[in-house]
Chains A and B, each alone.
Chain A
């Protein structure tokens, strides 16, 4: 919300610089984005802005589109000023800036200069040049009773500081200038002036017909009738205020509703009374098929969930959101029905969402506007309609449903200290609450004001009201603890270990999106309303994200690409999937490159991996399963070059990690090493051969290693030669040649029996 500071000062006095006020509000009340200067720079600069009387005005001798004028500016000789506007003549009273004056924006200084051969000593100002309005059709013509030389600042709002704040969700009361003034008064411990608005004299007693069919969604509706409204422009001060607050002036009637909304926080609406069918207001749900063209020119198809303001026949506004074009106040409007109502937040929120609209009034209703402020808002708007639009107030009707009473809270001032860890004197607490509008009884029963009804229903909420003014003084302590123990879980430690092993192996860690365009699992959970088609499905594998990351690196011209990721996958069925930690990797290279990395992970975790050839998804040309996952090599369609990948389920993997590693004596007695080569059928996997050898030799086989796989001469076709290296060792004694022969024999025998393998000599 944009707060013109001159407006704020109407409700509360303060001496401190605006920047300092902004700094302090940030602690206690709301975000302050910035303080900006609007209009002409203030201070001495204002001396250059004066009222002038036009003595002469003729066509510029050398330019058809310019006037050459002589202006009395109250002192010295009349000034010659060249002007581009023609909406005035001799005798007019105008706004003048003299040479040396700095224009709004602060960039442009007026200088005495020649224009087409004639000296111009200043400039005659338009509304737009002074940022007082939108009209740039001509210069501003001022009231004739002003004396030349009068400081312009006494007549017009030349400039203002604007506080740009962001209101918190729980503070609908701060969407008004008066509400902010109340906050400033509480902060600076100064007095808040009475709420603006004085009821004008009632000039008639006409009936006003108002029916509210849905008092839950619209608990209060005040309709006031005004006759003989003189539609026109608002006065400069009002337009300047509106523009300072970021709103566009439209006409005096509309401007008044906006002005009062900004002042007090309760949005108002003005209907052209003569366009109301049956001269009546009905607040009801929309009927199926009803349509309304809203003020922004869009035709809206209404939903029975929409609360509408209607006349006897048709909807004329979406309640709390926007009025309709059919009853809009226009140049021919004579009679106006003013609406000061109250709408429940949810109904406005849902209608706004449904119609994708965002208006000033909507943002206020959504936070919950005090129903009690509708009265003062009606009063203030009435006063202004009478004063500024010459209207006669001739009738009123109010409909009121059940409005919850504001909370009454049993409070204990010590609670504030318990929460803050800081002693806040009782007097200070009582005083602060009082300034914020809370009633505090001698026994500390606290009465929440109506405008804080939703936000402050409990004692802890009262604590916050006091606490937020003391945040700067809260000390920094640490919890006093009876016991203290923090450590990573077993699984968390293993996860870090796995990550470190992969980094040591030369891989870079990637973060890829958990939402992706497609997933190999047809049952993968899809978002009903995704943000984009690229982020639609909750992944069941890390492989696709890593492929994308690899592709991005190829596109960037990077080489030696090797990536891993440790992240969740989301296994169907939904709606709440099973989330599992996975480790995925992708490397440029063949199957064995990826397999080597997987083996390193297994080795670090002290798990013996068992690989088995397997058919993976169709994009893989080579594939194997291993405990908890798979390793595979992509076909040529996926990425340029040869790429291999792997993925392991970490919970499954970690379940195999031995609880502790037991020492084996490999030092005391020496090992005996042997190389053995077998000829056997090509189809027998080397892994199975080695496993069988290990099993046959038993505990005294300390190590078995793969040496080579050879096919070709002199090995017969369909056969291959597999060489392995074995080491026998006992922790209890030195093994003899006899032992070695026995162990070798059992391996040879077992492999012969199982695979028909023959030992090569």
Chain B
């Protein structure tokens, strides 16, 4: 009882907490711990002599407070040690350990983006073959036998009935031959034309075809779909417009423009100071195309478009020369 009475435990606790809190190293902390909590400390000795419940609760309370303080100070000292070390010489601006990372080709990134936009609108993605019959590439699409695009100077023929597809539109024919309406599909892929390579032409290029076949499809539906598509690609503020055009397989045929996303329509070099950028051809599916694939044009109607993927990529990312896509220079690929 003597020892209990002899010690002012509140003062003991305060003194111990102060010593623990001011310890500046693990050694100092250990000294304080030994002094106030160790086997030979007043507290340990008093605890050994405890007989009654009340003093036991008091002393155990002091002990657990001090133990918590030691643990807390220990963690604090560890953090302090890091900070000290950092001040001593970690240059956080030095680059981190390199991680090897590759890159998807920009054209794949754009292709996936287009696919995803249309997947979100409930379209399927069609994989079409690049070699097509003349029937699929021209005849079924009601292309005129005298149309210059059919000539050997424009089209790669394998034999007189077989070509490298000149557009993704034969996939319309293939899709309609193998699917029952309603059909909603996009088909991205390689196309081929006898163009001498320059900054804006390549004998091999990518197009994306879109075809919607359902009851009551209108030109307004085409415009709405293209509007959603271009807003997703080029920004929510974009507007689109249709101009008259001619394609054998759509009637009416239109050309789509989008408001310039470089200047916002004010006029700049990209849009040739018109505020509009030409994006590609589209139209309402010609009823004769439906007849060629056995779909009743009185029951079903449709729209279609075919846009160039390189053109989208070049315009959006400011690439001046199409040939860069096929050169595969890591310094170019790595930018995207």
Q: Which residues of A contact B (CB under 8 A)?
A: 26-30, 168-171, 345-346, 349, 353, 366, 418-422, 458, 460-461, 463-464, 467-468, 471-472, 474-489, 491-492, 496, 499-500, 502-515, 525, 527-531, 535, 538, 549, 552-553, 556, 558, 560-564, 567-568, 570, 574-577, 579, 581
In the bound complex, what is the Cα–Cα distance between A274 and B123 (angstroms)?
A: 70
Contact A529 B101 (CB under 8 A): no
Contact B227 A476 (CB under 8 A): yes
20 A-B pairs in the complex with CB atoms less than 8 angstroms apart: A349-B146, A421-B220, A422-B220, A468-B244, A471-B241, A471-B254, A477-B224, A478-B224, A489-B125, A508-B330, A509-B105, A510-B328, A510-B333, A511-B105, A514-B130, A515-B192, A552-B327, A574-B158, A575-B131, A579-B129
B56 at the interface (CB under 8 A from A): no
Contact B147 A468 (CB under 8 A): no
B200 at the interface (CB under 8 A from A): no
Contact B102 A507 (CB under 8 A): yes
Which residues of the partner chain B approach A489 to less than 8 Å between Cβ atoms? Answer: 124-125, 127
Q: Nearest 9 A-B pairs (CB), nearest first?
A: A421-B220, A421-B218, A506-B100, A484-B122, A575-B162, A476-B224, A464-B252, A510-B328, A503-B102
Stretch at the interface among B36-44, B60-68, B71-79, B149-157: B149-157
B196 at the interface (CB under 8 A from A): yes
In the bound complex, what is the Cα–Cα distance between A471 and B329 (angstroms)?
A: 43
Which residues of the partner chain A approach B131 to less than 8 Å between Cβ atoms? Answer: 538, 570, 575-577, 579
Q: Which one of B152, B243, B244 contacts A529 once the chains associate, using CB atoms below 8 Å?
A: B152
In the bound complex, what is the Cα–Cα distance between A507 and B102 (angstroms)?
A: 4
Write the B186-200 contact mask toward A (1 if CB under 8 angstroms, else 0).
000010101010000
Question: 13 extra interchain contacts, Cβ-Cβ under 8 A, other than A486-B118, A486-B120, A531-B196?
Answer: A27-B241, A353-B153, A420-B219, A474-B242, A479-B221, A486-B184, A496-B112, A509-B108, A511-B107, A531-B203, A574-B162, A575-B159, A577-B131
B25 at the interface (CB under 8 A from A): no
Chain B residue at minimum C-beta to C-beta distance from A559: B330
In the bound complex, what is the Cα–Cα distance between A480 and B221 (angstroms)?
A: 9
Stretch at the interface among B26-34, B85-93, B209-217, B258-266: B209-217
Chain B residue at minimum C-beta to C-beta distance from A476: B224
Contact A479 B225 (CB under 8 A): yes
Which residues of the partner chain A approach B287 to less than 8 Å between Cβ atoms? Answer: 458, 460
Give the interface size bracket for B toward A: 35 or more
Contact A26 B220 (CB under 8 A): no
Which residues of the partner chain B approach A27 to less than 8 Å between Cβ atoms? Answer: 241-244
Q: Which one of B107, B194, B214, B330 contacts A479 once the chains associate, using CB atoms below 8 Å?
A: B214
Q: Which of A468, A486, A553, A575 has the most CB of B within 10 A?
A: A486
Contact B125 A474 (CB under 8 A): no
Q: Which one of A421, A463, A570, A575 contacts B251 once the chains associate, using CB atoms below 8 Å?
A: A463
Contact A26 B243 (CB under 8 A): yes
In the bound complex, what is the Cα–Cα distance between A460 and B285 (angstroms)?
A: 10
Tell me the smallest distance from the CB of B298 to a CB of chain A, in Å.
Answer: 11
Q: Which one of B119, B130, B252 contacts A486 once the chains associate, using CB atoms below 8 Å?
A: B119
In the bound complex, what is the Cα–Cα distance between A418 and B214 (angstroms)?
A: 13
Write the B321-336 contact mask toward A (1 if CB under 8 angstroms, else 0).
0000111111101100
Chain A residue at minimum C-beta to C-beta distance from B109: A509
Tell me the smallest distance from the CB of B259 to a CB of chain A, in Å.
Answer: 13
Which residues of the partner chain A approach B100 to less than 8 Å between Cβ atoms? Answer: 505-506, 560
Q: Which one of A421, A481, A538 contacts B122 once the chains associate, using CB atoms below 8 Å?
A: A481
Q: Which one of A508, A575, A577 contacts B161 once the chains associate, using CB atoms below 8 Å?
A: A575
Contact B219 A552 (CB under 8 A): no
Contact A481 B102 (CB under 8 A): no
Given contacts A479-B214, A529-B152, contact A576 B203 (CB under 8 A): no
B316 at the interface (CB under 8 A from A): no
Chain A residue at minimum C-beta to C-beta distance from B226: A476
B246 at the interface (CB under 8 A from A): yes
B228 at the interface (CB under 8 A from A): yes
In the bound complex, what is the Cα–Cα distance between A29 and B243 (angstroms)?
A: 8
Tell me the smallest distance from the CB of B323 to a CB of chain A, in Å.
Answer: 11
Which residues of the partner chain B approach A553 to less than 8 Å between Cβ atoms? Answer: 328-330
Which residues of the partner chain A approach B161 to less than 8 Å between Cβ atoms? Answer: 575
Tell me the smallest distance from the CB of A587 to a CB of chain B, in Å.
Answer: 11
Interface residues of B in 11-55 (CB under 8 A from A): none
In the bound complex, what is the Cα–Cα distance between A400 and B147 (angstroms)?
A: 26
Which residues of the partner chain A approach B227 to less than 8 Å between Cβ atoms? Answer: 476
Contact A515 B204 (CB under 8 A): yes
B284 at the interface (CB under 8 A from A): yes
Contact A481 B118 (CB under 8 A): no
In the bound complex, what is the Cα–Cα distance between A419 and B251 (angstroms)?
A: 9
Q: Which of B203, B328, B330 has the most CB of A within 10 A?
A: B328
Q: Which one of A467, A491, A514 contacts B219 once the chains associate, using CB atoms below 8 Å?
A: A467
Which residues of the partner chain B approach A346 to less than 8 Å between Cβ atoms? Answer: 145-146
Q: Which one of A349, A561, A567 contacts B148 once the chains associate, using CB atoms below 8 Å?
A: A349
Which residues of the partner chain B approach A474 to less than 8 Å between Cβ atoms? Answer: 219-220, 223, 242
In the bound complex, what is the Cα–Cα distance between A711 and B164 (angstroms)?
A: 55
In the bound complex, what is the Cα–Cα distance between A478 and B133 (angstroms)?
A: 33
In the bound complex, what is the Cα–Cα distance between A468 and B246 (angstroms)?
A: 11
In the bound complex, what is the Cα–Cα distance between A353 and B150 (angstroms)?
A: 12
Q: Which one of A345, A510, A514 contacts B146 once the chains associate, using CB atoms below 8 Å?
A: A345
In the bound complex, what is the Cα–Cα distance between A366 and B147 (angstroms)?
A: 9
Given contacts A481-B214, A507-B102, contact A476 B203 (CB under 8 A): no
In the bound complex, what is the Cα–Cα distance between A531 and B197 (angstroms)?
A: 10
Contact B123 A486 (CB under 8 A): yes
B182 at the interface (CB under 8 A from A): yes
Q: Which one of A171, A471, A515, A529 contacts B203 once the chains associate, using CB atoms below 8 Å?
A: A515
Tell me the smallest distance from the CB of B51 to a CB of chain A, in Å.
Answer: 49
Given contacts A477-B221, A577-B131, contact A471 B244 (CB under 8 A): yes
Q: Which of A26, A169, A479, A575 has the most CB of B within 10 A?
A: A479
In the bound complex, what is the Cα–Cα distance between A686 and B117 (angstroms)?
A: 48
Which residues of the partner chain B approach A479 to less than 8 Å between Cβ atoms? Answer: 184, 212, 214, 216-217, 221, 225
Which residues of the partner chain A approach B220 to less than 8 Å between Cβ atoms? Answer: 420-422, 474-477
Which residues of the partner chain A approach B125 to less than 8 Å between Cβ atoms? Answer: 488-489, 492
Contact B221 A503 (CB under 8 A): no
B115 at the interface (CB under 8 A from A): yes
Contact A511 B158 (CB under 8 A): no
In the bound complex, what is the Cα–Cα distance between A76 and B133 (angstroms)?
A: 79
Q: Which one of A463, A467, A563 contacts B328 once the chains associate, using CB atoms below 8 Å?
A: A563
Contact B251 A461 (CB under 8 A): yes
Chain B residue at minimum C-beta to C-beta distance from A548: B328
Tell me the smallest distance from the CB of A738 to a CB of chain B, in Å.
Answer: 46
Q: Which one of B204, B325, B327 contacts A514 once the chains associate, using CB atoms below 8 Å?
A: B204
In the bound complex, what is the Cα–Cα distance between A254 and B329 (angstroms)?
A: 56
Contact B252 A419 (CB under 8 A): yes
Contact B162 A419 (CB under 8 A): no
Which residues of the partner chain A approach B148 to less than 8 Å between Cβ atoms? Answer: 169, 349, 366
Q: Which of A170, A485, A492, A508 has the most CB of B within 10 A?
A: A508
Interface residues of B in 225-262 (CB under 8 A from A): 225, 227-228, 240-246, 251-254
Tell me the smallest distance from the CB of B325 to a CB of chain A, in Å.
Answer: 6
B286 at the interface (CB under 8 A from A): yes
Contact A503 B103 (CB under 8 A): yes
Contact B284 A168 (CB under 8 A): no
B268 at the interface (CB under 8 A from A): no
Chain A residue at minimum C-beta to C-beta distance from B257: A26
B57 at the interface (CB under 8 A from A): no
Which residues of the partner chain A approach B333 to less than 8 Å between Cβ atoms? Answer: 508-510
Tell me the smallest distance from the CB of B302 to a CB of chain A, in Å.
Answer: 9
Chain A residue at minimum C-beta to C-beta distance from B99: A506
B7 at the interface (CB under 8 A from A): no
B104 at the interface (CB under 8 A from A): yes
Chain B residue at minimum C-beta to C-beta distance from A29: B244
Given contacts A509-B333, A514-B130, A579-B130, contact A486 B102 (CB under 8 A): no
Tell me the smallest distance from the CB of B173 to a CB of chain A, in Å.
Answer: 14
Chain A residue at minimum C-beta to C-beta distance from B327: A552
Tell me the smallest distance from the CB of B124 to a CB of chain A, in Å.
Answer: 6
In the bound complex, what is the Cα–Cα distance between A86 and B144 (angstroms)?
A: 58
